[in-house]
Amino acid sequence: MNQEINRDMKQMTDRENNQEKNQLRIYPVPKGAVLQADYSLRVRNVGAEDWQELKVYRVKVDMHDVRSASMVYFDFSGKVEVEITFPKFYTVYRVDIRPLSLGIMPETEPKRITFILDKPVNLSVEVNKDRFHNLHLFAGPIEEAPDKAGANVLVVKGSLDRPGCLGDGINAQLEAMPEGRMLYVEPGIYYIGESVWHLPSHTHIYLEGGAVLIGGLALEHGEGLHISGRGILYLADYHRFTGINGIRLNHSREIVIENLIFINPPHYTVSLGDCEDVELRNLKSFSCEGWSDGLDMMSCRRVLAEGCFLRTSDDCVAVYGSRWDNYGGSREITVRNTTLWADVAHPTMIGVHGDHRKEGDVIEDILFENIDILEHHEFQPGYLGALAINAGDKNLVRKVTYRDIRIEPFEHGKVLDFQVKWNKDYNPAPGREIRDILVENVRVMSGDGEEPSIIAGYSGEFPVRNVRIRDFYRDGRKVESLEEAGIVVGEFAEDVKLE
C-alpha cells in the first residue's frame, strides 16, 4: 500500500513539475493590427492535447520589390510543438527552416508541417524556396512581467477594441515620480503624438505583449533608460523621407532595450549617436526602404547587441565614427548570437563615416561572434560584402574579430570586403588604415551569386595590414589557400595570412 501511495505521489509531483516546466504564452492581438493570412499556426506544449491558435502579423520586406511576408511570436518553456498549414499555397514541394545551423527538420505532409522546439529560437520558414513571402517565427523564453501594482508604477490602461495615445504629454506624470519609475503599457494599439515620443531619463518603459505603438521613440542627452516587454513598434505607414527611426538615442548612456519587435521603420531600427554603455537584446526588426538600416552606431562606446534577428533593406549592423552632430571614434562594440538578413547592402559594415575635417577617427575593438547570415543581396559594385570593413573619412579601423560566422547561400555579393577606400558619394577623403583583423571559424555555403572577396588598401600610405584568417570553411571543408577561400589580396595589403 505504501509503495502504491509513494508511486501515486511521485506521478503527481512529476505532473506538477512538468506543468511548471512546460509553459506556453500567447499574446493578444488588438483590433486594427495589420495581419497576414498566408499561414495558419497552432502551438501546444508537448504532451498537451489542446492546440492554441496564433494570429500572424504582416511585415514588408525587400526595397527592390516590396512584398508582404509574415511574422508571429510567442513564448514558452520546456518543449513546444508547432503546426503550420499553408492555405494560400496550391502545391507545397519543399519547406526550409532557417538558420540551417539549428538543424530543425519538420515532419511534412502535403500542406502541413509540424516540428518540436526545446529552446528559444528566431526562425524563417520558407515554402517552395520563397524568401519573400516567408513566415518569421519568434519563439522566446517565458518572461515574468514586472508588478504593475507596485510602487512607482504608472499604468496605461489599454483596450483591444479601440486605439489610445501616448507621447510627450505623459512625461509630466512620469517626471513627477521618483527616478527608477516605470510606465507599464497594457495590450492595445497606441498612436504616438507627433510620431516621435521623447522619453525621460531614469525610466523603465514596459510594453506588455499585445501592445502596439505606432511611431518612434527617442532619448536625447539622457541616461538610465530601460525599454522592455513583448511589444511592437509599428512604423509601416510612415514615408521613407520622414526619416523616423524605431528608436533614436543621442548623447546618452546606460541604456537597455530588449525583446521588442520593430515593423518597418522608414529609417534605422535603432540609431545610436554618441552613446555609451548600451545593451540591445533580442530585438527583431523588418525594413523595406532605402536607408532603413538595422542597428547603426556613430561615435559609440561599449555597446552590446545580442540575440537579435534583423531583416533590413540596408546594412543590418553598421559601426561608424563621427557623423552628423556625433563626434569621436567607436570602440568596444560586440554583436553576438544574432541572425542577419540583408535584402539590400551589407549584413555587417564598419568604417565609412568619420571626422574627415580633422584627422579622422579610430574605430576599434569590434567583435562579431556566433552570427548566422541568411542573405546578402547587392549589385552595386562599391557596396558588396557580408563582412565588410570600408575605411573612409581618414578613419583607422583596427582590432576587429569575426568569430563563428555561418554564411548561407546569398543572392549576390562577397563574403569579405576589407578595403581602405574613397567612396566619393559619402567620403570627402579616403580612409587611413585597416589593421589587426582576425577572421576565425567562418563557414560559407557557396551560392551562384558570390563574387570573389577582396582585401586591399587605397595606397601605400593608406594600407591594410595584419589580417589573420583562421579555420575558414567552404561547403563543410576547411580551405587550404586563399584561392580556395575565394579571397583576392589586392594592392597595398600587407601580412594577410591563412592559418
Give residue-wise pLDDT tens across range 372-412: 999 999 999 999 999 999 999 999 999 999 999 999 999 99
- In sequence order, the 6+-apart residues with CB closer than 8 A to the CB of 20 are none
Torsion (CA) 10, 14, 16, 17 in degrees, nearest 10: 130
Say which residue the cell 552632430 belongs to.
325
Answer yes or no: is pLDDT of 164 > 80: yes
Q: What is the pLDDT of residue 168?
A: 87
Confidence band for 92, pLDDT divided at 50, 70 and 90: confident
Span 149-159, pLDDT tens digits: 989 999 999 99
Q: What is the pLDDT of residue 2?
A: 57
- Closest C-alpha to 189, from 149, 155, 224, 232: 232
Q: What is the pLDDT of residue 91?
A: 84
Is omega for the bond preceding 265 within 30 degrees of 0, making it cis? no
Q: What is the pLDDT of residue 6?
A: 58
Q: Which three cell numbers, joined as nine digits, stand for 317?
A: 549592423
Q: What is the pLDDT of residue 242?
A: 95
For residues 441 and 427, what is the distance between their CA atoms, to the nearest angstrom? Answer: 32
Answer yes or no: is pLDDT of 19 > 70: no
Q: Which three cell numbers, joined as nine digits, stand for 429?
A: 577623403
For residues 55 and 176, what is the distance between their CA atoms, to the nearest angstrom? Answer: 39
Span 202-231, pLDDT tens digits: 999 999 999 999 999 999 999 999 999 999
Q: What is the pLDDT of residue 379?
A: 95
Mean pLDDT in residue range 97-103? 98
Mean pLDDT in residue range 249-260? 98
| DSSP state letter for 278 | E
For residues 53 and 372, what is the distance between their CA atoms, to the nearest angstrom? Answer: 29
Helices in 192-271 by DSSP H: which ranges? none
**Which pTM does this prediction carry?**
0.95
E-assigned strands of 221-294? Answer: 223-229, 232-234, 247-250, 253-258, 261-263, 270-273, 276-281, 284-286
Mean pLDDT in residue range 135-143? 97
Mean pLDDT, the chain, integer: 95
Q: In what order do the strands lie in the sheet with 80-85?
A: 52-54, 40-45, 80-85, 112-117, 107-109
SS3 annotation, the chain: CHHHHHHHHHHHHHHHHHHHHCEEECCCCCCCCCECCCCEEEEEECCCCCCEEECCEEEEECCCCCEEEEEEEEEEECCEEEEEECCCCCCCCCEEEECHHHCCCCEEECCEEEEEECCCEEEEEEECCCCCCCEEEEEEECCCCCCCCCCCEEEECCCCCCCEEECHHHHHHHHCCCCCEEEEECCEEEEEEEEEEECCCCEEEEECCCEEEEEEEEEECCEEEEEEECCEEECCCCCHHHCCCCEEEECCEEEEEECCEEECCCCCCEEEECCEEEEEECCEEECCCCCCCCEEEECCEEEEEECCEEEECCCCEEEECCECCECCCEEEEEEEEEEEEECCCCCEEECCCCCCCCCCCEEEEEEEEEEEEEEEECCCHHHCCCEEEEEECCCEEEEEEEEEEEECCCCEEECEEEEECCCCCCCCCECCEEEEEEEEEEEECCCCCEECEEEECCCCCCCEEEEEEEEEEECCEECCCHHHHCEEECCCEEEEEEC
CA 309-312-315 angle, to 5 degrees, is: 100
Q: Which three cell numbers, joined as nine digits, stand for 92?
A: 507545397
Counting beta carbons within 10 angstroms of the beta carbon of residue 114, is it exposed (0 to 12), middle (13 to 18) or buried (19 or more)?
middle
Counting beta carbons within 10 angstroms of the beta carbon of residue 392, is it exposed (0 to 12), middle (13 to 18) or buried (19 or more)?
buried
Q: Which three cell numbers, joined as nine digits, stand for 263?
A: 515593423
Q: What percent of the chain has pLDDT over 70?
A: 96
